[in-house]
Structure 1
Amino acid sequence: MRSLSCFATIVTGISLAFASMLPQWASAETATPLLKPHDRLAIVGGTFVERMQSSGQLEGQLQSRRPDWKLTVRNLGWSGDDVHGYARKRFDSPHQGYSRLLADIEVAKPTVVLLAYGFAEASDGDQAIGRFTDGLQRLIHDIKQSNRRVILMTPFPLPGYKTENYQASIAQTRKIVQTVGNKTDSAVVSITWQPNQDETTSDGLVPNDRGYARLANELADALVGGQPQQVEEQLSQQIVRKNELFFHQYRPQNETYLLLFRKHEQGNNAVEIGEFPPLIEAADKKIWAAAAR
């Protein structure tokens, strides 16, 4: 009996030690979800986030797992974007690009912001990685000035990138995200997804629908917990339609004519941008109704 008791003690100790090494959100059934009922989530990042607009999988998982939470999700992805907002600068200086990034977040009116950066930095070389820590810390600081919560998502390697030392660079940016998360008291979702051959686009640079679906489950485990759900096609289509409406609100076509240096020609049409919010809010309600079925 004594030997059995010792064995049980050893097994228990090993189990506890192993559990202590797992991230807080590892168990969707026991961990506290990072989102709360009625949260407004803005997802911010580069190409990975922008392409997510055409997939209803992530929001579909969030809404289906927690239909009573009535979450609001806004996609603020911008191809090639980094924490400095360089890709958003239009005809302006890089400084103005960062101002545009903060302004885009304001348009979404989030209670919590999910930052998915580190992809572009890893592919842009040592100099970009060297600026990543300070840039990420500045962005988190500026977001939190408005009493918004911040969640960081670690970048992950994609097979299409041929940049020299790419794997090592991704490992560096992942480590930076985790370190900055600890330093700024921001939650970190450490992505473990490794794409199969059929889970990326043909160029291997971003996930395809199948890849986004598997990623959606991993992210949803951390964000809302609960059990994985089958995202119905109708719900997915409604989410994609809502994403399109929001895209046209915060990134309208012909901004040069509507808002910038040629607005004297067609600036009167900018009034139509203000007509999008009611349409988007109506789309949110349809999403909530579909998720509750």
Structure 2
Amino acid sequence: MTRWFLIVLALVCAAVHSVPAAAPFELKEGDRVIFLGDTLIEREQHYGWIELMLTTRFPDRNVTFRNLGWSADLPNGESRLGLSLGQAGNEPEGEGWKLLQKQIEETKPTVAFIGYGMAASFEGEARLPKFKEDYNRLLDAIEKIS
């Protein structure tokens, strides 16, 4: 048993060691950072710990932060429905996605922190393919807009 454990441990260490290090994260002068996600991200506007860590790590950089988080939101903007009180409950299909795209376009981000998943997890594993599809569509939209 010990022998197999040591063999597996050696293989894991070798695999980890062979992965090249990623370039360190850095904010650049003039970056426009957006926070996108569900409740955890939305509440960041009240506490500001992520923004505080970033501004103290890069104090010499002029960086703009915008929190576009929305409680219980999904990567397709579904929870943003009803933001227009005149339409509440009667929004056309895809209205939340259009609003999310518009908000991203207005901020013109160069950096995005994305934290989705908690709200979607309540629908179980069956929702995972749709979540991945919507998440990738969101990443593509941000890349296109930026």
TM band (smaller chain)? 0.7 to 0.9
CA gap 1:125/1:15 in 2 versus in 1, 3 angstroms: closer
Gapped regions of structure 2 (runs ≥ 5): 1-11, 83-87
Q: Distance in 2 between matches of 1:105 and 1:18?
A: 36
**Any conservation in 2 of the 1:41–1:73 contact (CA below 8 Å)?**
yes
Match of 2:136 in 1: 137
Q: Name the counterpart of 2:59.
A: 67
State the secondary structure of the residue aligned to 1:59: helix
Which entry has the higher C-alpha Rg, 1 or 2?
1
User: 5+ residue gaps in structure 1?
Assistant: 1-13, 25-30, 149-293
Contact kept in structure 2, 1:86 and 1:94, CA below 8 Å: no
Contact 2:27–2:58 at 8 Å: present in 1 too? no
Deviation track 1:243-293 (CA, whole Å, cap 9, x = no partner) reads: xxxxxxxxxxxxxxxxxxxxxxxxxxxxxxxxxxxxxxxxxxxxxxxxxxx
C-alpha RMSD of the superposition: 2.3
TM-score of the two chains, using structure 1 as the length reference: 0.40
Between the aligned partners of 1:81 and 1:96, the Cα distance in structure 2 is 13
Secondary structure at 2:28's aligned position in 1? coil
Q: 1:231-270 residue pairs with structure 2 within 5 A? A: none
Deviations 1:98-151 (A, max 9, x none): 1011111123232222221122121222332230111111111122112x2xxx
Aligned length: 128
User: Superposition pairs for residues 1-293 of structure 1, below 5 Å?
Assistant: 18-21=16-19, 24=22, 31-90=23-82, 91=88, 92-146=91-145, 148=146
Shift of 1:19: 3.6
2:15 & 2:124 partners in 1: Cα distance?
38
Post-superposition Cα deviations, 1:51-90, rounded to whole Å, max 9, x if no partner, equal 1111122111111111111211111110010011110011
Q: Is the 8 A contact 1:50 1:79 kept in 2?
A: yes
Q: How does the TM-score come out when normalised to structure 2?
A: 0.76
C-alpha deviation, 1:44, in angstroms: 0.3
Q: CA deviation at 1:34?
A: 4.7
